[in-house]
Chain A
């Protein structure tokens, strides 16, 4: 009986499995327990993410190589003036844009289905009927996913930052205050991606439907992007410079390279500020008369220097990571009691 059935089944690796508890394909890394289950269940998503990151990194390394070849012609690292004229900024800005989309894509396609799929398909019951605790299951799902997301986005961000660094201070390449640069370099892509992916996981847990969670997570991720772009520059300390020698074209204060101008206004003799647009008259003569009448003596300019960029990114990233940790704790505490 047993010989008959064992020849009937494929006879290959499966029977051997009972003798030796190993079934992996010898990838070197031996996963076991819950880590194995989570990786096996979501391996398509994880590999897609890692492969996409690897391709992006390779393309960006090539892009940097091209850029450095061009800049070498202008004496890089001490760039001669005029290098900007034929500089092709498109690859750099496209890469920045691509990395900028990563949080939305990752949140929608990795985060939203992560728990919603199990709750919708009933497999949450299967896993929770085994000997391991629910907290362990939730923590492993969150942990493995966060690790894969962090590794992928950190690699992409690091290479992008490296690519951009030779021309970072120049507005010709990228404007550092712009999302393409600010959100695609340093710790920001990692923090934004982790925040949206964990948000997507929480949405999936509450809604328990994959498709609905994907749609709602998309909305959530877009709102996160909008709120983030709105408050991005509020992370910096605004520096104010004032001048007292008139508002002629030559008298505008000299700002450091790559400074992001927050606001500019006229300074009057009494020390008040009036808006830049308040003397927009039809003719220069009328405008000058207006300035005269208001007793404008100079400029008041507020800006954020590029030297703050890194600290702003780290401040923003730590706020996002704190929020992420809060959502992750909510997923575990809520899921421990009410899941399945």
Chain B
């Protein structure tokens, strides 16, 4: 297991970043009958991060997670979970996946649902799973079919947590929870992750949720990777320039930098750029974007050049499958 990093010359350039990878994707693509859902996706997610996976609907988030969870096979490329193929027994044991629809057996009781986790997972933690269920006052003898949507999500969470995974894949985990429960489950998630060093990859539409919880970010749009890296690293790699525009366009000097997006409203222009040199000195005010500004700019401009930070970069010559 510790042999990872051996074949990746790229890491040595950025010394100190070559920690264990929770996920390594090399040109991963997946094609359905309708076309490519995910295309040429290469990145690395360092172990121990809480990573947000963001993108518009249909961008390939679920596809990417399903590949990591061994529910789908990639059409092209390879993906490794802690250095192992997703279909290997080791990867299966170390990964837990909470699907978007939170599927559970409707006729099982809550206790039986937890027993399912216990019977099928060697490292099962019954106490952790029961604590999550108890915190929501969900009766153990209730049938899943009689629970509310939020209670069901809680039980599904308990099954995912009880597995004691090293990589937890959550597909829109909070979509049907009220704010209190969402907050409580998020705290549980973060506490567990911090205590055990669990890597979390979580897709979401709620940017506020990301801001508080995630220290890592993957943005995909139209099947391709747009942004990857630590949140702070990504933010400081960009600048928001605001100023007064003339004749409806941003000043020409903006184009000295790599422009992600420019917008005008009223007499103001706003540009989100990746600075190629100092940004102060133009006819504008420069500031560091917050996460929301950064995400929206990239999601609105799919043609902007992607930014893959050094910590999430994988060398193009992938290990042989």
Q: Which of A10, A37, A126, A337 contacts B159 (CB 8 A)?
A: A126
The distance in angstroms between the C-alpha atoms of A21 and B122, with both chains bound, is 13
Contacts of B92 in A (CB 8 A): 130-133
Interface centre among A23, A33, A126 (most CB of B within 10 A): A126
A37 CA to B110 CA, complexed, in Å: 14
- Residues on A with beta carbons closer than 8 Å to the beta carbon of B138: 9
Q: Indicate whether B89 reaches chain A with its CB closer than 8 angstroms.
A: yes
Whether A125 and B97, one on each chain, are in contact in the complex, defined by CB atoms closer than 8 angstroms, is yes
From B99, which residue of chain A is reached at the shortest CB distance?
A: A125
Size of A's binding interface in residues, CB under 8 A: 36
Distance A127 CA – B108 CA, assembled complex (angstroms): 13
* Residue A280 interfacial (CB < 8 Å): no
Collect the chain B residues with CB atoms within 8 Å of residue A66's CB.
none
The verdict on B120 contacting chain A, using a C-beta distance below 8 Å, is: yes
Nearest Cβ on chain A to B125's Cβ, whole angstroms? 10
**B182 → A minimal CB distance (Å):** 19
Name B residues whose Cβ lies closer than 8 Å to a Cβ of A.
66, 69-73, 89, 92-93, 95-99, 101, 103-106, 108, 110-112, 114-123, 126-127, 130, 134-135, 137-141, 156, 159-160, 163
Q: Does A36 contact B (CB under 8 A)?
A: yes
Instruction: Choose the segment among A11-19, A100-108, A187-195, A230-238 that binds chain B (4+ C-beta atoms closer than 8 Å).
Output: A11-19
A residues engaging B (CB < 8 A)? 2, 5-6, 8-10, 12-15, 17-18, 21, 23, 32-34, 36-37, 40-41, 121-133, 337, 340
Q: Chain B residues near A130 (CB, 8 Å)?
A: 92, 116-117, 120-121, 163
CA distance A102 to B71 in the complex (A): 35
Question: Which residues of chain B are near A123, meaning CB under 8 Å?
Answer: 103-105
Q: Contact check, B134 vs A5: say whether CB atoms are below 8 A apart.
A: yes
- Of B73, B99, B106, B115, the residue contacting A129 (CB under 8 A) is B99
The closest CB in chain B to the CB of A8 belongs to B137
Q: Collect the chain B residues with CB atoms within 8 Å of residue A9's CB.
A: 134, 137-140
| A129 with B96, Cβ < 8 A, contacts A9-B139, A12-B141, A21-B118 known | yes
Q: Is the CB of B103 within 8 A of A122?
A: yes
17 residue pairs bridging A and B, Cβ less than 8 Å apart: A5-B134, A9-B139, A9-B140, A10-B141, A14-B140, A15-B140, A37-B116, A121-B103, A124-B103, A126-B103, A126-B156, A127-B120, A129-B96, A131-B89, A131-B120, A131-B121, A132-B120
Set of chain A residues within 8 Å of B105, measured between Cβ atoms = 41, 123, 126
Q: Is the CB of A34 within 8 A of B120?
A: yes
Q: Which residues of the other chain, A, contact B106 by a CB distance below 8 angstroms?
A: 121
A340 in complex: contacting residue of B71, B89, B122, B156, CB < 8 Å: B71
A126 CA / B156 CA spacing, docked (Å): 9
Task: Specify which of A14, A41, A132 is in contact with B111 (CB 8 Å cutoff).
Answer: A14
A-side contacts of B101, CB under 8 Å: 122
With both beta carbons as reference points, the residue of chain B lying nearest to A23 in the complex is identified as: B115
Complex CA distance for A34 and B97, rounded to whole angstroms: 19
Complex CA–CA separation, A132 to B122 (angstroms) = 9
Q: Which chain B residues lie closer than 8 Å to A122 at the CB level?
A: 99, 101, 103
Cβ distance B131 to chain A, nearest Cβ, rounded Å:
8
Q: What is the distance, in angstroms, from A17's C-beta to the closest C-beta of chain B? A: 6
Chain B residue numbers with a CB within 8 Å of A41 are 105, 108
Q: Which residues of B contact A17 (CB under 8 A)?
A: 111, 114-115, 126, 140
Residue of A whose beta carbon sits closest to that of B160: A129
* Beta-carbon nearest neighbor of B103 in chain A: A122
Do A37 and B119 contact each other (CB < 8 Å), given the known contacts A9-B137, A337-B73?
A: yes
Closest to A34 in B: B120
Report whether A131 and B93 are in contact in the complex, using a CB–CB cutoff of 8 Å: yes
